[in-house]
Structure 1
Amino acid sequence: MKSRVARFPKKTSNRSSSSDGLTTFSANDLQAMEFPPLEFLVEGLITEGLTLLAGKPKMGKSWMALDIAMSVAIGCDALGDRACKKGTTLYCALEDNPRRLRRRMAHVYGDQATWPKNFHFTTQMKKLDDGGSEQLEDWFQEHRPSLIIIDTLVCVRSASKRRTEYEADYATLAPLQRLAGEYGIAIIIVHHQRKMGSEDPLDTVSGTTGLSGGVDNILILDRKSHGVTLYGRGREMDDIDITVELNDGYWRILGDSDAVKISSQRRAIIDVLKSAERPMGPKEISEALDRPQDSVRQLLTSMAKDGEVKKQTRGKYESP
């Protein structure tokens, strides 16, 4: 992956700089700059830069990180249907050991003759502010990876003496963001959600807003009524809201969350009608599902057009 560096115009007469002052550029200079398009390492999900992948304990974050790393190393689709650019990967599995990693790999990918040589692991790493960032940069210089995953943040952050928790959180991620930006690579750091929920998924990240402010992109694994969602927001990429499913160590994308949610509601209505073994009206169905009557009535109309339910007299429905 190439570093996304702007090309300044040859004439920069409006720019001013000094050894001790600011280096500036005019709006006219900015207009003439050329930037390459945003590059995705994993289509629609992972760009170059620093990404925070957060979720509650036992949500399967490490399984997802492993799938992304393996998919990039091989150059196959990640999470079932997202194309990857092939490249060298480093997975810092700092809460694991080689025995557990081998068992996990064999469970998902089989005990095949050869796993990719460009997929590297480490289970030990220094704190980022105590030599860890230098370890990563030295390793990068030798192997030139496209992707580095650190699992988890707590293993590489140090107790900071900075004035505020926000400053400490922001400073923790600064070396990783610098490394990702300078070399045009993707770095994913795995983290936890706090216990309390929030309307905005980003507010569930454990720690201060210094963490969300210190990264380029955030991915949140969260459990909803219709399943597990992967919500994403980035500085340059479009928002992500998809439903995903973990099955025996393997994550796959089910589709856009709104579409999956509607599909799950349709299945719930069909189950209610089958259980009742008699025609039911929208009010009865909404009470059985504890959902608004108007939304159930609208959904029943669509389902009748699609042949999923059969409308009887007096506005009642049954399973066809």
Structure 2
Amino acid sequence: MLSGMVSGAWLDAQEFPPLEWLVEGILPEGFGLLVAPPKAGKSWMVAGIGLACAAGGYALGKIVVKQRPVLYLALEDGHRRLQSRFRTLTEGEPIPNRMHVIISARPNEVPGMIGEFLHLHRTEKPLVVLDTLGKVKPPKQSGQEAYAADYAIGTRLKELVDSVPGSCLVAVHHTRKAESADFVDAVSGTQGIAGSADFILVLARKRKDDQAVLSVTGRDVPENEYALVTEEGRWRLDGMDLVDAAATVDKRRESKSLGDRSMDILAHVMTNGPTTPRDIADRFGMDNKLASNALARLYESERITKTGRGVYDRLPTGGESGESGETDELLQVRA
């Protein structure tokens, strides 16, 4: 009964390889989910990441990735649509030979296909994309609990990828219709699917908006949110790198929390320094009382400071110690 037990001394003596990142900060080794509402662009996203990994280069426009074999199970697309999508994403470059595609499979065939591909490329840390998970979920057996059914398929996929260290299997899935405060709860179905995954990516994007946020969490993955933009199906980080893209999420929220006029007034104060309601009224053609109220709201929200009766100024930036950047950051919100 205790054959699998090990001692603390044994565990302490082990040396394990570091976590393999296929896409730094986004796709680690193991089994994970990419979830988003219909038509949010998740198939374009995984196709772009897959092509970047198959060719070697940059994923999401900014993240350096190593070349590796990729299996894309595009079970909701045909070859013509995939060719068109891939050619758009590669911008005229040849489709990488290390990108392998399957467009048709019965649910019970998919685990075998994934297992065979992983075994064939077991020394190359391959990437497998399953689009979508719903296409391979077997029907719930009579009397079987929904959670158990969901957990079983997730566990099966996890076992496959765990058998090849350094490999990754990401399954595209859809979100619940109901909104949730916790992005992990957005995963459709029971918690069985989310509970079986090593990592979860949730893509939040409003219809017809070119901006989105990718939320990332997992067992061994730092939880974070990254700002993205999309153009003609091509997804890229909204920032120079992951750190910058994470900061962009906060800047977007800051911008949305203020009206356009308030942002203009904030930018004016940050640029010009000491400002009175009369200055704002003259600059923006406003009533003096409205200008006073707008400055007061910015002061109450701790976006500007007050230096005297009716006089407002930019927040201290630590300039005396040679530090700077807060003013520039606030101005970038407006930009």
* TM-score, with structure 1 as normaliser: 0.79
1:221 aligns to what SS in structure 2?
strand
Distance 2:315 2:204 in 1: 29
**RMSD of aligned alpha carbons:** 3.3
The one-letter code matched in structure 2 to 1:120 is: H
Partner of 1:105: 86
Aligned match of 1:38 in 14, 19, 24?
19
What is residue 313 of structure 1 aligned with on the other side? none
Q: Partner of 1:236: helix, strand, or coil?
A: coil
The amino acid that maps onto 1:44 is: G
**Taking structure 1 as reference, are residues 308 and 56 closer, same or farther at Cα in structure 2, changes over 3 Å only?**
closer
Describe the SS at the equivalent of 1:179: helix
Residue equivalent to 2:237: 253
What is the one-letter code of the residue matched to 1:71? Answer: A
> Structure 1 residues 188, 308: closer, same or farther in 2, change over 3 A?
closer
- Paired residue for 1:150, among 130, 134, 141? 130
Amino acid at match of 2:253: K
CA distance in 1, matches of 2:231, 2:295: 31
1:284 — aligned with what? 294
Q: Which residue of 2 aligns with 1:115?
A: 95
Give the conservation status (yes or no) of the 8 Å contact 1:266–1:303. no
Tell me the secondary structure at the aligned position of residue 169 of structure 1: helix
Residue 248 of structure 1, CA deviation: 1.2
Gap change, CA 1:292 and 1:307, over 3 Å in 2: closer
Per the TM alignment, residue 141 of structure 1 is displaced from its structure 2 partner at its CA by: 2.9
Give the SS at the match of 1:101: helix
- Quote the Cα distance in structure 1 between the aligned partners of 2:96 and 2:23: 18
- For each residue in 1:171-211, what CA deviation from the matched residue of structure 2 results, as whole angstroms up to 9, or x when unmatched? 01122101111102100000000111111000111101101
Residue ranges of structure 2 left out of the alignment (5+ in a row)? 239-244, 269-279, 306-311, 318-325
Partners in 1 of 2:102 and 2:181 — Cα distance? 36
The 3 A distance-change label for structure 1 pair 266 and 82 is farther
Equivalent-residue separation in structure 2 for 1:73 and 1:292 (angstroms) = 52
Q: Secondary structure at the match of 1:22?
A: coil
Partner of 1:221: 203
Identity percentage of aligned residues: 31
Indicate the larger mover: 142-151 or 210-219: 142-151
Q: Give the direction of change, closer, same or farther, for the CA distance of 1:62–1:270 in structure 2 (3 Å limit).
A: same
Secondary structure at the counterpart of residue 34 of structure 1: coil
Count of aligned residue pairs for this structure pair:
286
**Greater Cα offset, 96-105 or 275-284:** 275-284
Residue in 1 that maps onto 2:30: 49
Higher mean alpha-carbon deviation, 243-252 vs 211-220, is at 243-252
1:135 to 2:145 alignment: no
1:23-73 residue CA offsets vs partner (Å, 9 max, x unmatched):
211112211121111110111111110010000111110111011101101
- Counterpart amino acid of 1:214? S
Q: Do the aligned partners of residues 94 and 294 (structure 1) sit closer, same or farther apart at CA in structure 2, a change above 3 Å counting?
A: same
Residue identity matched to 1:258: D
Normalised TM-score (structure 2): 0.75
Matched, 1:301 2:317: no
Shift of 1:131: 2.9
